Chains A and B, each alone.
Chain A
Amino acid sequence: MTDAIVVEGVRKRYGDKAALNGLDLAVRSGTVHGLLGPNGAGKTTAVRVLTTLLRPDEGRAEVAGYDVVREAGRVRRRIGLLGQHAALDEELGGRQNLEMFGRLYHLGARHARVRADELLERFGLADTGRKAVKQYSGGMRRRLDLAASLITEPEVLFLDEPTTGLDPRGRAEVWGAVRSLVGGGTTVLLTTQYLEEADQLADHISVVDRGRVIADGTADELKTKTGGDRIDVVLRDGGQLGAAVALLPFDKDDISVDADRRLLSAPVTDRMAALAGAVRALEEAGIEAEDIALRRPTLDEVFLHLTGGDPTGSTGDDHRDHAVKEAV
């Protein structure tokens, strides 16, 4: 199988800050690849380089077999971009926007009109009439933006944090649209801060921090690397935390204790066995649990595990307050 995106040693500096610091990436054709990382990790810079909006300082990048610097025109004919901010003409209506973009892709006036109608229909925007995009809701705007990036059914589609700022319904809509695209053979590069989103959509995930890839693999591989899922046990009586650590069927070194919240947390590999084991052990010892829950690791935990430090930009103990969110 060929690679639709190849990135080798790409660097991009802004002043004395390296946004990309030797980024390497290979994305196989027809797959969804997730770039997972916190704010400021360089995800958007990477997308801007790959969509020919930004010239890299060093290194080489190819999209659909063409160099993004030397063959920018050829790359542009083969890609679609859904950026973090709506790339639409806010003064114009939905149909006017799609028709304009269709003409700029040189579909011709008639085909541009036909294609605009098709896409409006497909994304549930057919009844928006002449309403200006600035009067659209966030979800509608996102859908129109996605429609605009699909006008030519691009070989490679870039989605830069496509669901940031959307409500759960809008998020589900975007996810559904992305899945149906991949069925049609499009290669997708998706950036996200949400482990859940990468998990749901991506065949392969690259974790990015400080402008480079620090881990790579399928969602399952990454989870295994980072200790996989976790079990959280909240006790009724904080005084029994020590006893509980001693008898729970987990590796003692991996259990973290938060005395204030009467919380024990441990990585697990077999979710059901861990849950059953914990319930049984506590019951037998007569220790009362207020809550026992299995959960995905947060992006914070993935980062702590992979880097042995804090995610980009955060310091000390406040990393829980950092803008890294876990998707619901």
Chain B
Amino acid sequence: MSTTYEESRVATYETSHDGGWAYVLTDCWTMTRRELAHWARQPVQMVVGLVFPVMLLVMFGYLVGGGRGVEGDYIDFLVPGMLALTMAFGLEATMIAVTQDLNKGVIDRFRSMPMTNGAVLVGRSAADMLQSAVGLAVLIGVAYALGWRAHGTFGSFLGAVGLLLLFRFAMLWIGIQLAMVAGKPELVQAVQILVWPVGFLSNAFAVPKSMPDWLGTVVEWNPMSHTATAVRDLLGSPGGEPGHVWAAIIWPLALLTVFFPLAVRRFGALSK
């Protein structure tokens, strides 16, 4: 090769004192590449992650069948709910990945290097968002094959996808924060179980009006229900109600306002 290390070193030392934003971006890209390289090495894990929501959709759509109080075709009602539920379950995936990463020796090397502090987290979120986008595409593809159709304009379809990914982004940072608070893989399992009731105490499968009053109220308050309702509205599915789009924007943003700074600060702090 024509370049020797000596040249590269000189170049480095001349520029590395003040990399500024260029280095922040480079570091984030490097860490995203790392996550993508992990996928390339663990294709099975990746596929399992994509197949799981599809299984849930088929199970609830055909095995369990029929949601209480749903007017119209149940699959039409269920698909937007499953899309939202898949985003909520992303919280688990993020938590597990972050916990595993933090318990690895490589984090010590990252932290003793002159890299951007938060790049590890950015890499994580870029990879998780990409995985979620692919997950949505797969799920929508399967739903289409099962006869589900999105109504409304292409613009409102994109808006629905945007709301889902925004919700996923909020879940992502909650996941990162919870993973750092829990710390050990054993504790993560406990926290992970809590994701299920939160996911199911929503309007993903049934209409809140059909539930006992107190339960219906809880379900209507669940941020995930707002996202599901707004997505139904935008896709012209049964169960959609106008006016939820704002709630589906404000809730995730509110969660992000709390958890994003918490997570970044906690990660940036030197270890105890």
Write the residues of chain A forming the contact surface with B, with a CB cutoff of 8 angstroms.
14, 48, 51-55, 73, 76-77, 79, 81, 83, 85-92, 96, 100-101, 103-108, 110-111, 114-115, 117-118, 132, 148-149, 152-153
In the assembled complex, B257 has its CB within 8 A of some CB on chain A = no
17 extra A-B contacts, CB within 8 A, seeds A77-B16, A83-B109, A87-B105: A52-B112, A55-B270, A81-B112, A85-B108, A88-B106, A89-B34, A92-B38, A100-B30, A104-B110, A106-B26, A107-B8, A107-B12, A110-B3, A110-B8, A118-B5, A149-B109, A152-B12
Measured between alpha carbons, how far is A77 from B270 in the docked complex, in Å? Answer: 17
B111 within 8 A of A: yes
Tell whether, in the assembled complex, residue B4 and residue A114 are in contact, meaning their CB atoms are under 8 Å apart: yes
- The reply to whether B16 and A106 form a contact with Cβ atoms under 8 Å apart is yes
> When the two chains form the complex, which single residue of A81, A103, A149 contacts B30, counting CB atoms closer than 8 Å?
A103
A149 to chain B: closest residue by CB: B109
Hey, which chain B residues are within 8 Å of A152, CB to CB? 9, 12
Given contacts A73-B114, A105-B12, contact A96 B5 (CB under 8 A): no
CB pair A153 B9 closer than 8 Å:
yes
Q: How many angstroms between the C-alpha atoms of A66 and B105 in the bound complex?
A: 25
B119 to chain A: closest residue by CB: A104
B residues in contact with A89, CB < 8 Å: 34, 104, 106
Tell me, yes or no, whether B233 is within 8 Å of chain A by CB: no
Closest A residue to B23 by beta carbon equals: A106
Known: A100-B30, A152-B9. A111 touches B37 (CB 8 A): no
Chain B: interface secondary structure? Answer: helix
Instruction: Mark interface residues in B90-125 (1 if CB within 8 Å of A CB, else 0).
Output: 000000000000001111111111110001000000
Instruction: Tell me, rounded to whole Å, the shortest Cβ–Cβ distance linking B98 to chain A.
Output: 15
- The CA-CA distance from A107 to B272 in the complex, in Å, is 31
Q: Roughly how many angstroms separate A117 CA and B1 CA in the complex, as a whole number? A: 10
Nearest Cβ distance between residue A5 and chain B, in whole angstroms?
Answer: 15
- Is the pair B109, A87 in contact by a Cβ cutoff of 8 Å? yes
Interface contact A111-B1, CB-CB below 8 Å:
no
Indicate if B19 sits at the interface (CB-CB under 8 A): yes
Q: Which residues of chain A have C-beta atoms less than 8 A from B42's C-beta?
A: 91
**C-alpha spacing A153/B3, complex, angstroms:** 17
Q: Write the chain B residue with the least CB distance to A80.
A: B112
Which residues on A sit within 8 Å (CB–CB) of B33? Answer: 100
Q: What are 6 of the A-B contact pairs (CB < 8 Å)?
A: A48-B271, A76-B113, A88-B106, A100-B34, A104-B113, A106-B26
Tell me, in angstroms, the Cα distance from A87 to B27 when the chains sit together. Answer: 18
Query: Nearest CB to that of A73 among chain B residues?
Result: B114
Q: Give chain B residues whose Cβ lies under 8 Å from the Cβ of A148.
A: 109
| Cα–Cα, bound, A275→B3 (Å) | 58
Are B30 and A111 closer than 8 Å at their CB atoms? no
Q: Which residue of B lies closest to A153 (CB)?
A: B9
Query: Could you tell me the distance in whole angstroms from the C-beta of A63 to the nearest C-beta in chain B?
Result: 11
CB distance from A296 to the nearest CB of B (A): 32
Residues of A within 8 A of B111 (CB): 52-53
Question: Taking each of B7, B12, B23, B104, which has the highest tally of chain A beta carbons within 10 Å of its own beta carbon?
Answer: B12
Q: How far is the CB of B50 from chain A (nearest CB, A)?
A: 19
Contacts of B107 in A (CB 8 A): 87
**Which chain A residue has the least Cβ–Cβ distance from B19?**
A106
User: Across the two chains, which residue of chain B brings its CB closest to A115?
Assistant: B5
- The contact string, 1 if C-beta is below 8 Å from chain A, for chain B 239-272, is 0000000000000000000000000000000111
Q: Which parts of B1-44 form the interface with A (CB within 8 Å)?
A: 1, 3-5, 7-9, 11-12, 15-17, 19, 23, 26-27, 30, 33-34, 37-38, 41-42
Return chain A residues, CB-CB under 8 Å to B8: 107-108, 110-111, 114-115
Query: Is the beta-carbon distance between B9 and A106 smaller than 8 angstroms?
Result: no
How far does the Cβ of A53 sit from chain B's closest Cβ, in whole Å? 6
Q: Which residue of B lies closest to A103 (CB)?
A: B30
Chain B residues closer than 8 Å to A55, beta-carbon distance:
270
Which of A79, A85, A89 has the most CB atoms of chain B within a 10 A radius of its CB?
A89
